Structure 1
């Protein structure tokens, strides 16, 4: 029987609802600072992540896979609690959100662990997430402390 979670995932986000779906699939993805690129001349922001396979986790499988996420029509990018150097620094992505400013423009925020964030000024939401390559076994399932 084929494992549907093993199939590469490819998602496009054109509004906040789509972006929430992308965010859910990228929750707990691990990213190296050296795998993040802001290309202002192309109005593009891109990153490579090692995402946790939450669909497989529902069946008791602990797996990760390499994925790419990029945003088009990006007018600005700024970071919070991310040092300029340290290309090997590793961050855990918690969520991707959108706050509308003057429709359809707004700010996409990539929320990382320990309060780190990247804020992208965008003309509109235009993002794509795509799995790259095979799945591999992960050491553990990501866990979050109970806030209450």
Structure 2
């Protein structure tokens, strides 16, 4: 018999996760909250129907923050089955522009499994992807490094 993994069973290891439904997506969205990336690290390959971002995500899942401080890690977020991409608040001509990802949400169409993925960015920016079906992956590709600010992002109350 198998049982679901528990948070306390986790260990400090690179993430390699996928999302194929709304429940999976909510986990990925939480893990990429406050990730930062330059516009130059956003890739859209229409022939492959693949959209990807190399981002510097905050390690929200890190249980050792008290020992070594706040950390970030470079991760690749890949979204497959993408039919179209639209954005606002992104200046593609400015490759040094830094964006901050706040949330990923799915808006299903009347005919499942298609819909729109909305990547909400800080500062009223957004990326909207029309997808045939949910198919995302998040993979850490570097070792963690100390967050430049030295602390966790704080959205204030």
**Structure 2 equivalent of residue 4 of structure 1:** 11
Pair 58,108 (structure 1): closer, same or farther in 2 beyond 3 Å: farther
Deviation at 1:110, TM superposition (A): 0.6
Which residue matches 1:112? 121
| Structure 1 stretches of at least 4 aligned residues deviating more than 6 Å after TM superposition | none
Cα 1:137–1:80 shift into 2, 3 Å? same
Would the aligned equivalents of 2:39 and 2:92 in 1 still touch at CA under 8 Å? no
Show the counterpart of 1:70.
Answer: 78
Tell me the SS of whatever aligns to 1:125.
coil
Give the TM-score, by structure 2 length.
Answer: 0.87
Superposition RMSD in Å = 1.4
Mapped to 1, the partners of 2:63 and 2:100 lie a distance apart of 18
Which has more strand, going by share of residues?
1
Unaligned ranges ≥5, structure 2: 1-9
Which of residues 123, 129, 133 in structure 1 aligns to 2:132? 123
Matched, 1:132 2:129: no
Distance 1:72 1:55 in 2: 25
Distance in 2 between residues matched to 1:4 and 1:87, nearest whole Å:
35
**Alignment partner of 1:145: what SS?**
coil
Residues 4-47 of structure 1: CA deviation (Å, up to 9, x unaligned): 22x10011000111111001110100011000011111100001
Residue matched to 2:55: 49
Paired positions, count? 143
Q: Secondary structure at the match of 1:79?
A: strand
Which residues of structure 1 form unaligned runs of 5+?
A: none
> Which whole-Å CA distance do the structure 2 matches of 1:55 and 1:47 have between them?
20
